[in-house]
């Protein structure tokens, strides 16, 4: 930091000491120097104008150097301002205490010009570097917050309304463990009488996972819509998974992959045709309160692992009022402060009590239970849930 640009505050109850120190600092090129004759006045200056460095005496009336230093470290606005303690030779024990409280350095009386130049210059240089790091972090946090908003904006937040032609009730939720994450969900009607829904989990965390997530979601949606338009007889979850896997493997130098549950619901029959590519088995929650898992006999690898894979499609029929609940492993693998897992058993237990819940209520119930379990423990993985209820019109309701 240029001496002419630095703002210094000299705090000492002795006028001769203040005069001597400011005079020597002026000789070193420091032109912006403010003085205070006690600790209270020093705090008023610090809170009213920019200060880059404080030279603080220890022994002062009203507020001594310790008290000023403690108040500075407790104040977020003043915490990072460097402080050099001014001490007599016989006050070295006090200086050590000040260093432990957070002071940057110290100067002994009488002032040595060479030490004064070196310690003031070094303290200002360190402050400049800290300011640069802080500005970079703030800029990065701002960019990551913007990326998080952009990512969440990619996921559909407007859920389909029920109608006799489209008898589906759905809700979904995604919470990244960091600013951005690798989980995804999507849902749309690619054709009349067909509802497509999916939940996925990209390997890794942070920005690379978020980019891979966005790429995967776009590929699934685009491939499904094109397939439905040009080859509707061959548009199945298995064919979609095969084509998307082929594209994700292309130039995948970082070897990223995504687990995916991709399904088509026939809105007339309740038949769900699906592919499970390495994803946790979904649940089927009935209105009566029973809960079953949608399991496949043979595990299939995630997308992006190996080119040329052929995926098998499976089918399950759900009844009127039944709800399919799909989540990522961030739910069952959520940990508390004791590093215990939430577990799939707890997920299933919550779903048994959610038979009469709407999809939104079901997701809120599970989310609340996970939050109670984890408490203040940091989240290690993204959490994503999707609940879909097939609610066809019964004959008795038809006019």
Residues 6+ positions from 378 with CB-CB distance below 8 Å: none
Write the CATH number of the domain with boundaries 155-397. 3.60.40.10
Per-domain residue ranges of the chain = 7-144, 155-397
Q: What pLDDT shows up at residue 280? A: 96
Torsion region of 270: left, alpha or beta (phi above 0 gives left; psi -120 to 50 gives alpha)? left
pLDDT tens track, the chain, 399 positions? 678 889 999 999 989 888 989 999 998 889 899 999 999 999 999 999 999 999 999 888 888 888 999 999 999 899 989 999 887 756 667 778 888 888 888 888 888 888 888 989 898 888 888 888 888 877 767 666 655 666 666 788 899 888 989 999 999 999 887 656 788 999 999 988 999 999 999 998 777 888 889 899 999 999 999 998 888 888 999 999 999 999 999 988 889 999 999 999 999 999 999 999 999 999 999 877 899 999 988 889 999 999 999 999 999 999 999 999 999 999 999 999 999 999 999 999 999 988 789 999 999 999 999 999 999 998 888 899 999 999 997 544 333
Q: What pLDDT shows up at residue 237? A: 96
**Closest by alpha carbon to 358, among 96, 154, 170, 98?**
170
C-alpha to C-alpha distance for 79 and 251, rounded to whole angstroms: 48
- Relative orientation angle of helices 206-230 and 113-154, to the nearest 10 degrees: 20
Write the CATH number of the domain with boundaries 7-144. 3.40.50.2300
Q: What pLDDT shows up at residue 397? A: 39
Sheet arrangement for strand 283-285: 168-175, 383-390, 323-327, 283-285, 291-293
Predicted TM-score (pTM) of this structure: 0.71
Q: What pLDDT shows up at residue 218? A: 92
C-alpha to C-alpha distance for 39 and 57, rounded to whole angstroms: 9
Q: What pLDDT shows up at residue 326? A: 98
**Closest by alpha carbon to 319, among 396, 389, 398?**
389
- Relative orientation angle of helices 39-48 and 65-74, to the nearest 10 degrees: 30
Tokens standing for residue 277: 């590519």
């Amino acid at each position: 930091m240029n001496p002419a640009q630095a703002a210094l505050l000299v705090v000492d109850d002795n006028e001769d000491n203040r005069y001597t120190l400011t005079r020597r600092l002026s000789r070193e090129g420091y032109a912006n120097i403010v003085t205070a004759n006690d600790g209270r006045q020093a705090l008023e200056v610090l809170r009213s104008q920019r200060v880059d460095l404080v030279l603080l005496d220890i022994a002062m009336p009203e507020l001594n150097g310790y008290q000023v230093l403690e108040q500075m470290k407790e104040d977020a606005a003043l915490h990072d301002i460097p402080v050099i303690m001014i001490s007599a030779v016989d006050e070295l024990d006090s200086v050590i205490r000040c260093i432990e409280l957070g002071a940057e350095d110290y100067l002994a009386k009488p002032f040595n010009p060479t030490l004064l130049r070196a310690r003031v210059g070094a303290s200002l240089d360190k402050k400049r570097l800290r300011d640069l790091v802080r500005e970079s972090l703030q800029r990065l946090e701002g960019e990551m917050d913007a990326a998080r908003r952009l990512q969440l904006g990619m996921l559909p937040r407007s859920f389909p309304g029920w109608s006799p032609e489209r008898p589906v009730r759905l809700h979904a939720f995604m919470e990244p463990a960091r600013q951005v994450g690798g989980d995804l969900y999507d849902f749309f009607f690619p054709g009349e009488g067909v509802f497509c829904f999916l939940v996925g989990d990209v390997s890794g965390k942070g920005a690379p996972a978020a980019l891979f997530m966005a790429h995967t979601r776009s590929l699934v949606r685009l491939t499904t819509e094109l397939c439905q338009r040009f080859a509707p007889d061959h548009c199945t979850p298995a064919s979609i998974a095969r084509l998307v896997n082929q594209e994700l493997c292309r130039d995948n130098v970082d070897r990223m992959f995504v687990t995916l549950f991709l399904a088509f619901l026939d809105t007339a029959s309740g038949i769900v045709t699906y592919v499970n590519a390495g994803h946790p088995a979904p649940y089927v929650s009935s209105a009566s309160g029973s809960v079953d898992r949608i399991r496949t006999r043979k595990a299939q690898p995630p997308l992006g692992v190996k080119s040329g894979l052929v995926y098998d499609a499976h089918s399950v029929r759900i009844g009127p009022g039944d709800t399919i609940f799909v989540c990522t492993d961030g739910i069952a693998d959520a940990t508390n402060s004791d590093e215990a897992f939430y577990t799939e058993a707890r997920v299933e237990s919550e779903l048994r009590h959610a038979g009469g819940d709407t999809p939104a209520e079901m997701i809120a119930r599970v989310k609340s239970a996970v939050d109670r379990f984890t408490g203040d423990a940091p989240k290690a993985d993204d959490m994503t849930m999707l609940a879909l209820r097939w609610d066809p019109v019964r004959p008795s309701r038809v006019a």
